[in-house]
């Protein structure tokens, strides 16, 4: 008996694990590449926790800027780890967005997977918040400006905005409590929430088993794939190492957030151009394009940042959260689905996904309108105007195009491939065609 077998029996004597482990080792994991997108985020999170722990050992919120500079330049490997941490955060949020796209376009959020969609949406927003609190920690001029904008947006919330802001900051901006509280949020509250949600997300995947694309032998009541051990484990660990390799290469080669070029935050200074990390770009763009429109209900004020930076994100958040139920209502379908949709099979859903993507793209690009204005030698107001039009026209056009394309493809039963043949030279010097399976 090998050591591993003896170890497993040791546990089974005490916990009765044999039944579970026996099935767990042979659990079926579908082989489609798109099922590994979510794992990128899991591994990115592990890298974030590891590198973040290292950084937290040297960072001091009461000397945020100086301690960040010191850990970058005086600690062996400090700058590398800081850059790896920042790059991994960008990849983490990007991975979640792409994974959400996969789940959306293939209808994987349908019953019975609504709970995991909701958990995923929460993870997406918490990841953005974790990223924002993280890049705000060094208290440099760029991130400090972003924090000032964030506070102004919080102030724009009707009725409770000022209370909320004073409670978050421990007073008016800029407050002494701001950085210590950001630190607690970034290294404890938000990662704990992410870890808990990931755990729940994965436990539910485990319990429900994976969805799968239709294919021979695949039904609404089974999952076909490679066994977790050894095949899928080998692939998944390779993916983890691929993520690790990419972020270390990026951290070594590509400079990110060089705060020593921005300088420490001072409330009366500002850098220009100033762009946030990519996943906050859509909010920045929305703020730039937002209408100069305040209303005064009952002698109170709802200022202009409310529309683009409070109302719009809240609306998007709620729509995303309840999407599985909207989708089910639109399809008049309350049934459970194990087999995924090919995006072409539900043209209006695919069109809607494309429209939302183009809308978010327009907002994000508008977040760097000042940089683009320099390149194209136009006034920044023209660029802003262009993106206002873009954010209306592009989603509509994108919806129409994707809808038409999906319908066409659905009618044809997918992209038609030329039949595979083998050409064989015959005795007369010509060619005979033989069909291949």
Partner 1 sequence: MKRELWIAAALLAAVAGSGGFIAAYATGGDRLAEGISLAVAAAGLCAAGLGWAFWILPVQQVIDEIETYPSDAADRRAEGSAAAAGTREITRPRALLALLCTAIGAFAVALVVPIRSLGPRPDGELFKTRWRRGSRVVREDGSPVHVADLDVDSAVTIFPEGALGDAQSQAMLIRLPAALGGSVQGYIAYSKVCTHAGCPVALYRAQAKQLLCPCHQSVFNVVADGAVVSGPADHALPRLPLEVAADGILQATGDFPEPVGPGFWERGATR
Residue 339: beta bridge partners? Answer: 212
Minimal distance, residue 14 CB to partner 1, in Å:
25
Residue 155's alpha-carbon distances to 48, 105, 230, in angstroms, are 31, 36, 54
Minimal distance, residue 368 CB to partner 1, in Å:
12
Strands 431-435 and 421-425: antiparallel
Element (H, E) at 424: strand 421-425
Number of residues that bind partner 1 (CB under 8 A): 96
Footprint of partner 1 on 292-321 (CB under 8 A):
292-294, 296, 299-305, 308
In degrees, rounded to 5, the angle at the alpha carbon of residue 370 between the alpha carbons of residues 95 and 274 is 60
Footprint of partner 1 on 212-251 (CB under 8 A):
217, 221-227, 230-231, 234-235, 237-239, 241-242, 244-246, 248-249, 251
Minimal distance, residue 408 CB to partner 1, in Å:
33
Footprint of partner 1 on 98-127 (CB under 8 A):
112
Minimal distance, residue 382 CB to partner 1, in Å:
11
CB atoms within 10 A of CB 194: 21
Footprint of partner 1 on 161-190 (CB under 8 A):
161-163, 165-174, 177
Which of 134, 225 has the CB closer to partner 1?
225
Rama region for 333: left / alpha / beta (φ>0; ψ in -120 to 50; rest): beta
Which residue from 14, 207, 377, 425 is in contact with partner 1, where contact means CB under 8 A? 207
Kindly state whether residue 53 participates in binding partner 1, applying the rule CB under 8 A.
no
Q: How far apart are CA 338 and CA 214, in angstroms?
A: 9
Element (H, E) at 114: helix 114-136
Both structure tokens of 109: 């959020």
Q: How far apart are CA 223 and CA 35, in angstroms?
A: 13
**Pick from 276, 266, 316: nearest CA to 133:** 276
Kindly state whether residue 287 participates in binding partner 1, applying the rule CB under 8 A.
yes
Footprint of partner 1 on 7-36 (CB under 8 A):
26-28
Kindly state whether residue 349 participates in binding partner 1, applying the rule CB under 8 A.
no
Footprint of partner 1 on 124-153 (CB under 8 A):
145, 148-149, 151-153
Which of 139, 369 has the CB closer to partner 1?
369
Q: How far apart are CA 341 and CA 354, in angstroms?
A: 16
Footprint of partner 1 on 365-424 (CB under 8 A):
369-370, 380-381, 384
């Amino acid at each position: 008996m090998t050591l591993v077998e003896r170890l497993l029996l040791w546990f089974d004597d005490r916990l009765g694990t044999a039944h579970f482990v026996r099935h767990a080792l042979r659990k079926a994991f579908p082989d489609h590449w798109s099922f590994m997108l979510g794992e990128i985020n899991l591994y990115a999170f592990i890298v974030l926790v590891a590198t973040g722990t290292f950084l937290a050992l040297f960072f001091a919120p009461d000397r945020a800027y100086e301690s960040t500079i010191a850990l970058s330049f005086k600690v062996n490997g400090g700058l590398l780890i800081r850059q790896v941490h920042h790059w991994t955060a960008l990849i983490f949020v990007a991975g979640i967005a792409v994974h959400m796209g996969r789940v959306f376009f293939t209808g994987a959020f349908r019953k019975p997977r609504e709970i995991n969609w909701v958990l995923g949406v929460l993870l997406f927003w918490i990841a953005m918040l974790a990223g924002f609190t993280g890049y705000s920690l060094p208290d440099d001029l760029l991130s400090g400006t972003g924090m000032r904008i964030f506070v102004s947006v919080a102030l724009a919330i009707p009725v409770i905005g000022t209370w909320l802001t004073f409670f978050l900051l421990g007073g008016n901006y800029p407050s002494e409590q701001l950085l210590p509280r950001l630190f607690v949020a970034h290294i404890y509250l938000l990662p704990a929430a992410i870890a808990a949600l990931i755990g729940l997300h994965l436990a539910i995947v485990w319990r429900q088993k994976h969805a799968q694309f239709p294919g021979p032998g695949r039904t609404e009541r089974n999952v076909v794939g490679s066994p977790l051990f050894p095949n899928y484990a080998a692939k998944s660990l390779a993916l983890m190492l691929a993520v690790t390799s990419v972020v270390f290469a990026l951290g070594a080669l590509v400079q990110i957030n060089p705060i020593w070029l921005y300088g420490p935050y001072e409330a009366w200074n500002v850098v220009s151009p100033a762009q946030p990390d990519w996943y906050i770009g859509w909010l920045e763009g929305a703020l730039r394009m937002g209408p100069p429109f305040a209303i005064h209900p009952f002698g109170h004020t709802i200022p202009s940042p409310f529309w683009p930076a409070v109302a719009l994100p809240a609306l998007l958040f709620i729509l995303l959260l309840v999407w599985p139920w909207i989708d089910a209502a639109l399809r008049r379908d309350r049934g459970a689905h194990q087999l995924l949709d090919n995006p072409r099979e539900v043209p209006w859903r695919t069109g809607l996904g494309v429209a939302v993507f183009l809308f978010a793209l327009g907002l994000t690009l508008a977040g760097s309108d000042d940089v683009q204005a320099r390149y194209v030698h136009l006034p920044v107001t023209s660029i802003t105007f262009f993106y206002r039009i873009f954010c209306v026209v592009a989603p509509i056009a994108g919806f129409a195009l994707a809808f038409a394309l999906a319908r066409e493809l659905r009618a044809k039963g997918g992209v038609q491939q030329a039949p595979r043949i083998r050409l064989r030279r015959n005795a007369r010097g010509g060619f005979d065609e033989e069909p291949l399976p």
